[in-house]
Structure 1
Amino acid sequence: MRKLKLSMGILAIVFATLTVASCKDAKKEQNNEEEHQSEMSTEENHSEMNHDNSDGHHDEEATHDNSDGHHDGDSAEMTSEARDIAVSTQKNGATSAIIDAYFQIKNALVTDSKENAAKGGTALLAAFSKFDMKTLTDGTRQEYMEIAESAKEQAEHIVENPIDHQREHFETLSTDINDLITLLGTDKTLYLDYCPMKKVSWLSETKDIKNPFYGSEMLTCGNVKKQIN
């Protein structure tokens, strides 16, 4: 009887030992699985942070596909190279309404006003609709129509979008209006300003730098590149 009790005691100890070992192995396996899942999650997060923008979201410095009418590229000084426009030196007052509407947009962006920028976009569309193309020669009409088409597209986006997108389209609009002035001339004294932070230019009616691309964030960032008239 004593031997039987001793044998049963030994079996109980062995069973307990195997049970503890099994629990430890199970815990170790669970910890390994959790660590593996954690590593996979970290890799996925890292992958998301370094994605290739194929989901449609763009980083600030990513290349824009221009599908919304916005043109990329450094424009340190707006020129007519892309359109190959002959420079006009005439004092033309016919472009004044268009230029004034452009300044309405520019000054609204300077004051960070989405609403007033949209009103300026509406005014610009109206100014283009009232422009008399009969005053244009055959040599300038086609070039004017190309500029006007692009400018009106930018104005439509400015009317419909939040201020960050308004500023993006204002960049292309600035190039369009500068090309228009190059093509047809103006009777206004204007200034071509340059923002070194964004490497873009815009037109102003005053010498004072008031940056429409940053507004109150960096109002005086920029310099005058040249005077027109």
Structure 2
Amino acid sequence: MRKTKLSIGIFAIAFAALTVMSCKDNKKESVDSNGHHTEMGAKENHMGMNNESEEHHHEDGDEDHDHDKGATMKTRDIEASTQKNAATAPIIDAYLQIKNGLVADNKDNAAKGGTALLAAFSNFEMSQLNEEQHTAYMDIVEDAKEHAEHISESPLEHQREHFETLSTDISDLVTLLGTNKTLYLDYCPMKKTNWLSETKEIKNPFFGSKMITCGNVKKKIN
């Protein structure tokens, strides 16, 4: 019995060490001329907005990690806008409220952000969009609303699953319509996905306090 417990203990230590190395090893992915990590896969390509790459930051952790994904990521062919668009601010602010709630491991604040995001979509004035923008916007919003609804009424880990695909949607919206905000496109090597942040400092919303600074800044927007 003592040998069994010892074996389990050794296995747990080895697994934790491999988890830590995973965060480190993912930082070593090569970057092409457009600033994309070559091993990220297709779902990251549509989030490769222009502007300079930034230094990366990370922190080792020793916790188990949940790799469950939310809904399947969409890949959209969107022409990037250079417009300093203030109209997208309420949508981005609500998204950031969700992000900050997840960073703080605060389910209620994330849920409030989900509700605020639904309201921001409802209040968005679509008359300013041309036909092509309108079509792409409606595709983004249809998907984003579903994730916002789940986030507004789900437990923390389920919120995080939906936040992954929601981040794709909001990043696509920023690419499509532009923003007057300074944002950072961050990458989580453990989840192999991106999120948007208003600060250069890495605060990982997918793991919160378990691995708060694991990640790197890919792009600065504006």
TM-score (norm 1): 0.66
- Whichever structure has more helix as a proportion of its residues is 1
Matched residue pairs, number?
157
Structure 2 match to 1:79:
47
Q: For 1:53-64, what aligned pairs fall within 5 Å after superposition?
A: none
- Taking the aligned partners of 1:78 and 1:137, their CA distance within structure 2 comes to 21
Structure 2 match to 1:92:
85
Point out which structure has higher relative CO (alpha carbons under 8 A, 6+ apart): 2
Deviations 1:180-210 (A, max 9, x none): 0000000111100011111111000000000
Deviations 1:60-81 (A, max 9, x none): xxxxxxxxxxxxx874555388
The alpha-carbon distance between structure 1 residues 159 and 222, as it changes in their structure 2 partners (threshold 3 A), is same
Structure 2 match to 1:140:
133
- Taking the aligned partners of 2:211 and 2:102, their CA distance within structure 1 comes to 12
Paired residue for 2:166, among 173, 198, 204? 173
- Taking the aligned partners of 2:42 and 2:136, their CA distance within structure 1 comes to 23
Q: Is the 8 A contact 1:209 1:224 kept in 2?
A: yes
Q: Is the 8 A contact 1:75 1:199 kept in 2?
A: no
- Taking the aligned partners of 1:209 and 1:188, their CA distance within structure 2 comes to 18
% identical aligned pairs: 69
The alpha-carbon distance between structure 1 residues 148 and 175, as it changes in their structure 2 partners (threshold 3 A), is same
CA RMSD of aligned residues (A): 1.6
Gaps of 5+ in 1: 1-72
- Taking the aligned partners of 1:194 and 1:76, their CA distance within structure 2 comes to 9
Gaps of 5+ in 2: 1-40, 49-73
Q: Is the 8 A contact 2:184 2:218 kept in 1?
A: yes
Alignment partner of 1:115 is 2:108: yes
For 1:192, the aligned partner's letter is L
The alpha-carbon distance between structure 1 residues 105 and 189, as it changes in their structure 2 partners (threshold 3 A), is same
Structure 2 match to 1:103:
96
Alignment partner of 1:207 is 2:200: yes
Q: Is the 8 A contact 2:42 2:75 kept in 1?
A: no
For 1:178, the aligned partner's letter is S
The alpha-carbon distance between structure 1 residues 164 and 176, as it changes in their structure 2 partners (threshold 3 A), is same
Larger Rg: 1
Structure 1 runs of 4+ with >6 Å offset: none
Q: Is the 8 A contact 2:147 2:165 kept in 1?
A: yes
TM-score (norm 2): 0.68
Q: Is the 8 A contact 2:46 2:75 kept in 1?
A: no
The alpha-carbon distance between structure 1 residues 74 and 143, as it changes in their structure 2 partners (threshold 3 A), is closer
